[in-house]
Structure 1
């Protein structure tokens, strides 16, 4: 038999083996595709999950962009960890920084941070929904549900109109506020610098982020301390913070007040709680800091400027992170109140963080109803259902658990600084609360924290932005099948 015939006889075998290999590879590819499709289906199966993971996606993209040499002013990469910390802080609209925003980043870096702040403030789902509506593209049901949840609406029809109003109100407030700030800054710095500083601060303030570009004017990490007696800058920034922190639903309710003649219960509750917290905080800070005459402290200001500084401190502590007073030099009572205000946060479906003021209101209503011997939990002649009270308790409890865990970890990682007296345990919890509540003020130097501590703060910022309950729900693979199971009553002693 010739060599050719041998080759011909062997060819079918070779083809057969190759075919097997190809079929095996095709099966592997199909399995990979199936796993990928399952993962995508798992993501899109829950509106809350889509919102939760969308923030993670934005953070990853932001980290890559900020790690580029082009993002820094000196042309050298700042490193992945610092880029991750900054991207998380911007996307979660926090304001904690490990490098001065104005002096460290280039124009490209500033643009990336500003975009991250805008996406983080409004939410990726809200922005995507707006462009889909503008392009008249059809939305899938899950996208509609995610849009409803991201803006706090209970109806898709309402959510569509609300998304458009959100973008309009946001653009208008940021532009007007930014121009007012630019005009004021133009009196002390060059026009071009004043414009970029004002617009950047306008967006940051409305989104409750706390980032600013004032480091190139008054020095690194100074925030608004150089303008702590300027009522125009303080009041403009505070007003932007308040509007952004009220929540999208409240905006819509206020816009339609002349049609409806009356605000909804949710809007009234948010507005009343906001007023109480701001007024109460202002009075408390005036009393606690009046005699504090340290540098950039309230007591060092002229008497007529002190109410403005106290008002701004009360506003910024709940959500924003701009500081006109030196947080490290605050009295212990002010720091303790600050932790409570930060933990409370802003209104639901807003640009702010915290466990939300409605959650705190429901907790107080629960305590009040218990002491008054009422079975129904009510506030303002309205009762709350069991599911709402449970959600409030879970959010507050998980939030407290995160703060305690984060505080313990930070204290462990920064034991050397604590033992040396560089900062106190109160400062540790002030920092963790600031990260979790996405506020951004600090009473210790964030850049000196260890790598481990930075990862703790990154986790706290992310959990705080997506919400403790939302994060838990978003990562749940299966719904519980025990809803119909009735267990025997367990009796135990409490308290």
Structure 2
């Protein structure tokens, strides 16, 4: 009886939190083994923890160069952790259960509902099947396209391996790359800044991973249904606006002052602007050194990372839907309207309060962490705020200071990545026991002066 009571106390939020934590612990152990290292020397536990957390939380921040530090076993471990982290361990577990004809219990469905950020249990298993199928198809196509391009630069076997690794990494918004062994440690995709084919393939992979599986399902069903859900309309509209506006601002701020940017042709400058605007969705990969960009550009990237990707996607941040609600609330207030309306649909007060709560929790976490790091590290506050935001938003863009941080700062950023992946609100639900009982009374309405 006690055992049953203990099981019942594990809410979906707690199961998600503990599940991700257990996978990170397993990943830390595997990456700290001698066979995982390229030179056979064990990676110390703190760096192994950071890399495992970065992989499971599909962040892409690194304290060691993956290509030169890890062996094939280590690289594959990193890749599997990123795949599990991107799709979600419950999604992977559900597909394994379905493969063995195991019945999906109500508890499993509730956890899946929390993981996929769904409002209903209806059609959840069907969505999971679609998510897995879409992911495999997109990753396979991406792998073949990248392998075909890189076969001109390296042996075919290596090109195929690189294609698979980077397609999975970029689609899951993990941001890991293996070009450190080809073009030098921490080089990223800098060698392909002028390659439109690689740019386009990577941009498409990041966008597809960042808009979320719900939106992808809607888009693929559009030919039959001839309709998109409100969620899909908002995600596609806001994501498109952020990418275009972000690219324009990056171009304007870099084109006149950045020496690296000025060395590129006009077309390459356009691609670089779009690439880095898209990468802030949570892609975590770059074709130019973010550390060498203007401070104004770095701050813009910071803001775009904080907004992040869509709910139910492989990306992080406060999410584009939350940002849309905040803008909608401001617009409604300035126009003297009581309701936030998108595409002729009024939003519920619960959605608005949830968005405000999530934003404040995220702001509090990022600012407090940056302040703590500034007390530990001898770095500029912008650099520390950038790394903290990148960790929370599971973006992976960096100002090249991650490898130089103290062990304590690495642990702190690892925890921030974990919080960013599961979401501050989910953690809050996991740590508390909210009462499902409806209150039988309401307090009288009060008012005070604002502004």
Scaled to the shorter chain, the TM-score interval is over 0.9
- Give CA deviations for 1:436-493 in whole Å, capped at 9, x if unaligned: 0000010132111011211121111011110111111122135276833433545444
- Give CA deviations for 1:73-129 in whole Å, capped at 9, x if unaligned: 111110111111001000000000000000001111111111100000010011111
**Bigger CA radius of gyration:** 1
- What runs of 5+ residues in structure 2 fail to find an aligned partner? none
Partner residue, 2:330: 367
Cα offset, 1:304, TM superposition: 2.1
Matched, 1:355 2:311: no
1 CA distance for matches of 2:112 and 2:236? 24
1:188-337 matched pairs, under 5 angstroms: 188-294=153-259, 297-337=260-300
1:256 is paired with a residue whose SS is: helix
1 CA distance for matches of 2:6 and 2:278? 41
2 CA distance for matches of 1:200 and 1:315? 20
2 CA distance for matches of 1:448 and 1:388? 41
2 CA distance for matches of 1:466 and 1:114? 19
Determine if contact 1:71/1:107 at 8 Å carries over to the other structure. yes
1:61 is paired with a residue whose SS is: helix
2 CA distance for matches of 1:434 and 1:154? 28
Aligned match for 2:368, one of 405, 408, 425: 405
TM-score (norm 1): 0.88
Aligned match for 2:92, one of 127, 136, 143: 127
2 CA distance for matches of 1:483 and 1:326? 54
Partner residue, 2:418: 462
Aligned match for 1:441, one of 375, 378, 397: 397
Matched, 1:432 2:388: yes
Partner residue, 2:52: 87
Cα offset, 1:41, TM superposition: 3.4
Aligned match for 1:117, one of 82, 97, 102: 82
- Give CA deviations for 1:372-429 in whole Å, capped at 9, x if unaligned: 1111222332211110000000111101001101110111111xx33xxxxx221111
Determine if contact 1:95/1:209 at 8 Å carries over to the other structure. yes
> Judging changes above 3 Å, is the alpha-carbon distance between structure 1 residues 482 and 205 closer, same or farther for their aligned structure 2 residues?
same
2 CA distance for matches of 1:151 and 1:491? 38
2 CA distance for matches of 1:41 and 1:487? 32
2:58 is paired with a residue whose SS is: coil
Partner residue, 2:127: 162
More RCO (CA 8 Å, sep 6+)? 2
2 CA distance for matches of 1:153 and 1:136? 24
> Judging changes above 3 Å, is the alpha-carbon distance between structure 1 residues 37 and 77 closer, same or farther for their aligned structure 2 residues?
farther
Partner residue, 1:41: 8
1:374-413 matched pairs, under 5 angstroms: 374-413=337-376
Cα offset, 1:233, TM superposition: 0.9
1 CA distance for matches of 2:436 and 2:185? 51
- Paired residues in the alignment total 451
1 CA distance for matches of 2:358 and 2:368? 15
1:348 is paired with a residue whose SS is: coil
Aligned match for 2:65, one of 100, 114, 122: 100
2 CA distance for matches of 1:39 and 1:74? 45
Name the Cα RMSD after superposition. 1.7
Which has the higher mean CA deviation after the structures are superposed, 233-242 or 139-148? 139-148
2:281 is paired with a residue whose SS is: helix
Partner residue, 2:113: 148
2 CA distance for matches of 1:488 and 1:154? 31
2 CA distance for matches of 1:190 and 1:260? 45
Cα offset, 1:190, TM superposition: 2.5
Determine if contact 1:152/1:249 at 8 Å carries over to the other structure. no
2 CA distance for matches of 1:67 and 1:125? 25
1:147 is paired with a residue whose SS is: helix
1 CA distance for matches of 2:273 and 2:383? 20
TM-score (norm 2): 0.96
